[in-house]
Each structure stands twice: as C-alpha cells, then as structure tokens.
C-alpha cells in the first residue's frame, strides 16, 4: 500500500474553476444513473405499471430522494478521503464487519450483472431472434472487451451516449400514448400499497437504490485525484458533485417514471399483465405500431450493455478494495472482481428458466443487501477518524440512519408477507 504522502503528491492537481467548470464534473452521476435504469428496472417498472397502473409511481419518487442523499453522501467519502467505500471499509472496520458486508456486495454485483446481461440478451432476441443463452454470451464478451480496453473517461462518454438514447426512446414512446397526467401527479407523491404489491414495491426500491452503485460512485469520484490537501478544491468539488448527482438522479427518476407511465397507459389500461419483457414488445407492436416496439428493444439493448459495464466496474471496485487497492483494470484484483461479477452471472443465466422473474427477484435481492451497505456507509461517513471535518453532521446522520431503518423495515415486512 502506498504511503499517504505519495498519494497526496500524486493528487496535487489544482483545477481552474471557470464558468464551464461544472462540465468537467459531469459523468460520475450518469454512470450511477445508468445502474438504476437497467433491465432490472425495466422488469420491475413494467410489472408495476401493468399490474397497478400509476399507483406505484410514489416508490420511484421515494427511492430517488433516498438515492440522492445516499449517493451524495458516499461521494463525499471518496472526495474527502481519496478512498472508495470498499477501501474505507477495509481500512477502518474490523474484518468480521468488512469481509461479510463486502462479500454480500460482491454477490449483489453478480445479481446486478445477471439482470443487466439478461436484459441485453432479451433485447437481442427481440431484434435478431438470438436465443437468450447466446445473447447473454455475446453481451458478456462485449462488456468484458469494453471494460478491459477503456479508461474511465472513455467509458463515461459511452454511458452518456447510452443514457441519451434511452431517454430519447422513452420520450418518443410517451408521445404515442395517452397519459392521465393528473392521476400520475397524485401517484408520484401519494403512497399507496395495493394488495399483493409488496414484492413489486421491493423490486422497484431495489432497482433504484442499488448497493453496487454506492461503491461505484465513491470509486469514480475519488479516481479523479484532486488535491486532497487543498480545502478550497475539496469544497468546490463537493459543490459540483452535488449538482452532477442531482441532475443525473432526476434524469433517472424521469426515465423510471416513464416506464411505469408507458406500462400503465398501455398494458394496465387494456388489462394486460406483462410477465415477460418480450411480451411487452409484442403487445406494444399492435397497440403503438412497429416503430415503438423496435425502439423499445433498442433502448433495452443499450440499457443492458451500459449497466453491465457499470456493474462490472462496481464488482472490480469492491473486490480490489478488500485488498486496499483502488479500481484499476490493469491490476489483477480489479480484473478478478470484474470477471467474478460478469462470468458468474453468465454461468447462472444458463440455468434460468424464467428470465423475467429472475430480473424481478434479483432486484428484490439487492434491496435485502442494501441495509447492510447503508449502515456501513453511514458509520464511515459519520466518523471523524475517517472523514475529519467532513464527517456527517447530526441532522444528516439521523436522516441516513432513518433511510437505513425504512429499507430494513420494508425487508422485514416483505419476509413476513412471504411467510404467510
């Protein structure tokens, strides 16, 4: 492990802050955003909209608010310490705490990659009639090529392009349908829990607030290596990071909401319950025309590829952090973490019979891992030993613990409901 003095020397870059300086900070938030507009979200949101109409839009709003708070907080960790969440956990918590939590999150990264790869494979089946296993293999190979040959900056540009395509696709889809905007406006802010909706609520929550994204954001933000000794640089970076996070999360909220709106205005309106993403494309064809079905599949493909890249990066960051190393695709620990995340997920896919339900349950699984990750994060970001003057203030600490308790409570409720 390199001494801190050499780390600070390496991080002695002092940026000039001009009027367009914010543009240099756009990227980390979008990398996180693509993680919660992934195929798992598509499955959860389409299930929510087709079964319950607009009723569960509030879950997207609540999840996004929670996500903004959590992602901003974990980005503070990366900026103030120069460590990602995995490295900080390894350095500042005992092994009996860090190893189980980080191991759980490696499993969460695998579950995430599974959902992303399945989604891209389903899209390839829609577009080119490629069988799911073959499509999954092609996707995994492409993702590994992207990860093993690209730097952060090049991947960020890819992700921004992918997010743009996905967003434009849904704007076009919404243009074709008749949305009851007054009902949607109420549903965005009014919590309602319809009968038998708890699994869907948990899957939507797990699909938006994703544990691997907490590790990913802290890794990306600290990798930019600004001067950790210059308080003015840190303050300016924190301010711009918050702007990047807010804008990116709002984009994600809008796209996730659009999925539910589209499903509610088409499938729920015609009393069509969707339990396959391919079925959604087939139903859209006669309802909205051939172009909408093709655009749906293309957007799903880009979503699957982009989010598979970010889940692979998260796996590499979590695994390398166990050895107190930053993510570096040229390093063996980072490479092994990426391979575990992508290859194990690919292996599991070959034994899955119902890809759509695998997407739903993978997202529900993420919500179960999430409380452990949040409690770990809040402990670290509240510690003066870890964060110094940037440790959480009392109000933020209480708010973060409240979020962790809400997520934990929902998981307990889900367990009780499933045992009835």
pLDDT by residue (tens digit) across 286-304?
A: 555 566 667 778 878 887 8
Q: Closest Cα partner for 171 from 267, 259, 290?
A: 259
Is the CATH number 1.10.4160.10 carried by domain 44-390? Answer: yes
User: pLDDT of 230-268, one tens digit each?
Assistant: 566 666 666 667 777 788 788 888 888 988 998 888 888
Say how many C-beta atoms besides its own lie within 10 A of residue 220's C-beta. 25
List the chain pLDDT tens, one digit each, 420 residues. 444 343 333 344 444 444 334 334 445 666 666 666 667 677 788 888 888 999 999 999 998 888 888 888 988 888 888 888 999 999 999 999 999 999 999 998 998 899 889 888 988 988 888 999 999 999 999 999 988 987 556 666 776 776 677 777 777 778 778 888 999 999 999 988 888 888 788 778 766 677 888 888 778 776 555 545 556 666 666 666 777 778 878 888 888 898 899 888 888 887 777 766 666 555 555 555 566 667 778 878 887 888 888 889 899 999 999 999 988 888 999 999 999 999 999 999 988 877 767 766 776 777 778 889 989 999 999 999 999 888 999 999 999 999 888 888 877 776 666 556
Q: Domain ranges in the chain?
A: 44-390
- DSSP code string of 92-114: HS-HHHHHHHHHHHHHHHHHHHH
Residue 13 DSSP class: B
What is the token pair recorded at 306?
């982009």
Is residue 326 within a helix (H) or strand (E), and if so which, with residue range? none
Find the angle CA(289)-CA(277)-CA(245) to the nearest 5 degrees: 100
- DSSP reduced 3-state for 226: strand
> What pTM was computed for the model?
0.78
Secondary structure element (H or E) that encloses residue 314, with its range? helix 290-322
């Amino acid at each position: 492990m390199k001494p801190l003095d050499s780390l600070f020397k390496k991080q002695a870059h002092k940026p000039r802050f001009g009027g367009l300086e914010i543009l240099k900070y756009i990227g980390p938030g979008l990398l996180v955003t693509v993680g919660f507009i992934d195929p798992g979200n598509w499955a959860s949101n389409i299930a929510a909209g087709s079964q319950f109409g607009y009723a569960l839009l509030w879950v997207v709003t609540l999840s996004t608010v929670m996500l903004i708070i959590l992602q901003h907080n974990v980005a503070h960790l990366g900026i103030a310490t120069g460590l990602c969440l995995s490295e900080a956990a390894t350095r500042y918590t005992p092994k009996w705490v860090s190893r189980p939590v980080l191991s759980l999150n490696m499993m969460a990264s695998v579950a995430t990659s599974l959902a992303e790869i399945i989604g891209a494979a389903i899209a390839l089946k829609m577009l080119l009639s490629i069988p799911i296993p073959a499509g999954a293999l092609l996707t995994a190979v492409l993702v590994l090529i992207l990860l093993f040959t690209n730097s952060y900056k090049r991947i960020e540009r890819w992700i921004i392009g992918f997010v743009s395509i996905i967003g434009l696709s849904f704007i076009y889809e919404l243009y074709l349908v008749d949305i009851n905007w007054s009902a949607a406006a109420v549903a965005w802010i009014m919590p309602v829990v319809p009968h038998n909706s708890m699994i869907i609520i948990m899957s939507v929550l797990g699909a938006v607030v994703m544990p691997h994204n907490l590790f990913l954001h802290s890794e990306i933000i600290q990798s930019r290596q600004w001067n950790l000794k210059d308080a003015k640089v840190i303050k300016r970076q924190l301010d711009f990071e918050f702007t990047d996070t807010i804008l990116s999360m709002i984009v994600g909220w809008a796209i996730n909401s659009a999925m539910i709106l589209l499903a509610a205005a088409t499938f729920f309106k015609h009393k069509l319950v969707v339990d396959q993403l391919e079925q959604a494309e087939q139903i859209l064809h006669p309802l909205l025309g051939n172009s909408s079905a093709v655009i749906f599949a293309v957007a799903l493909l880009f979503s699957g590829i982009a989010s598979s890249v970010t889940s692979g990066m998260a796996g590499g960051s979590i695994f390398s952090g166990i050895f107190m190393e930053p993510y570096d695709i040229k390093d063996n620990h980072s490479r092994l973490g990426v391979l575990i995340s992508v290859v194990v997920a690919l292996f599991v896919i070959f034994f899955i019979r119902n890809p759509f339900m695998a997407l739903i349950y993978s997202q529900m699984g993420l919500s179960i891992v999430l409380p452990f990750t949040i409690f770990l994060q809040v402990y670290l970001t509240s510690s003066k030993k870890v964060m110094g003057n940037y440790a959480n203030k009392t109000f933020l600490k209480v708010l973060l613990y409240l979020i962790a308790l809400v997520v934990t409570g929902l998981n307990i409720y889900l367990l009780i409901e499933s045992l009835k």
